[in-house]
Amino acid sequence: MRTLLLALSLAAVIGLIGVAALAASRYNDVSSLAGLEAATRVTVSGEIVNLGSGDMIMYYDGEVFEVDARGYYAIARNPESGRSYVVFLLRGNDGFTIAALYPAEAFIARYGSNPIFEQTVVVDGIFKPSVKIVLGEPGSGGFEKLYEVPVLEVNAILKGCHASYSQVQATA
């Protein structure tokens, strides 16, 4: 009996250490970026924001982009410069929101033209707190600003876009 009690006590200690370590290994929430001042490489998790659908306008890096909003993401194109991005907004627990920008050609090559986003998305990339996008709608009374948020240039979407295991299988 004493040995069993020892085992249970040890199990509780090991289990607590495990749970504590795992809790510490969670992805940083987008809200943790609010205090950053310099450009930093980060991996963060956030709730994706529904942008609705239709035409929008985005101001970014001194250029004006025509935006086609498609629910949880939008495609922003500047016909003059030829630059295009897939844009999606990620919101943290405290409401702090960032705009994730992914080069459109690479995004479509990887995820196709109908990507599926999950509610929570984990991205890796360069967060630039001083660089912001302004996203809004062209209205009859002029431009109506909806979001002005800092930019994260995405290297990779680690989780939350296109669940790979439920895909059709292929062979080589």
Partner 1 sequence: MRWHLTPLIVVALLAFDLATLAYSVLEGPFPITVTLGTPMAYKNIYIHVPIALSTYILFAGAAASALLYILRGGGYLAYTDTFIAIGIIYAAATLATGIAWASESWGAPWNWDPKQTAVLLLAIAYAAYFPLKRSIADPDRRSRVAAAYALAAFSMVPISYLSSRVLESLHPTTEAVAEFTQGGAGGVLLIVRIVIVAALTLTIAIAAARGSLRLSTGIPLLYLAISITAAIALFWGSVGGGERVLTAEVDSGGRIVSITLASGDKIVFNEPVENPINPPLTPEGGSSIVSHIVRVENGSLKVLYHWSTPFSYLAHTIIISLSLAYGIRRGSRA
Binding site for partner 1 (CB under 8 A): 3-4, 6-15, 17-19, 21-23, 25-27, 43, 45, 105-106, 109-114, 120, 122, 124, 155-159, 161-172
CB of 77 to partner 1, least distance (A): 17
Q: How far is the CB of 73 from partner 1 (least distance, A)?
A: 15
Q: What distances in angstroms separate CA 34 from CA 25, 127, 137, 142, 144, one per listed residue?
A: 20, 11, 26, 30, 25
Cβ within 8 Å of residue 20, ≥6 positions away: none
State the nearest-atom distance from the C-beta of 20 to partner 1, in Å: 10
Residue closer to partner 1, measured from CB, 113 or 140: 113
Comparison of 31 and 146: residue with beta carbon closer to partner 1: 31
Nearer residue to partner 1 within complex by CB, 125 or 150: 125
For residues 76 and 90, what is the distance between their CA atoms, to the nearest angstrom?
17
CA distance 114 to 162: 9
In sequence order, the β-bridge partners of residue 133 are 149
